[in-house]
Amino acid sequence: MSEIQRINITLPKKLVKRSRILIDEGLYSNFSELVRESIKNEILLDSRMVEDKKNKILLNKLFEEELGSGEDTSKLSRDELIRKIRKTRDKLWEEKYKKWFQRPAS
C-alpha cells in the first residue's frame, strides 16, 4: 500500500453539504475518497501544465549541470565546428544515451 499523509482542509459548509449528497448516493464510500478522486481528476485535467512544469525543472537542472562545461568555439571554421559538435554528440552518446539501448527487453 502506498504511503499516506493526513491533511486537514477547510471547506465552505455548502461544499461539504453537496459532497455529503454524493457520498450518501453511494458515488463515493467516504469523504476522503471523494477528495482523492477529485484531486486525481484535477491532476489529469492539468496534466499538460504538470508536464510543462516537470520539463522546466529538467531544463533548469540540465543548465545547472552543463553550464560552464564548454569552451570558446567562435574562432573555428564552420567545418571545424561541425566536426567538434559531432565529437560532442558521440561523447554524450557514450556518457548518457548508450545505456538506454542496453536496457533489457521487457
Partner 1 sequence: MVSEASELIIVLDSNEYITFLNENNLFLSKIFSNKKISIYTTDLIISEVLRNVEINSGKEFFKLIKENKIVFYPSSTYYPLFKKYKNLGFKRGDVIMASFCEGIKAKYLITENRHFLKSGKLNEFQVLSLQEFLKLY
Question: Site for partner 1 (CB under 8 A): which residue of 3, 78, 102, 106?
Answer: 78
Which CB atom, from 16 or from 76, has the smaller least distance to partner 1?
76
3-class DSSP assignment, residue 56: helix
Q: How far is the CB of 96 from partner 1 (least distance, A)?
A: 8
In order of 10, 46, 66, 104, the CA distances from 98 in angstroms are 50, 33, 19, 13
Does 71 sit near partner 1 (CB under 8 A)? yes
Does 100 sit near partner 1 (CB under 8 A)? yes
Does 36 sit near partner 1 (CB under 8 A)? no
Q: What residue spans of the chain are helical by DSSP H?
A: 13-24, 31-45, 47-66, 78-92
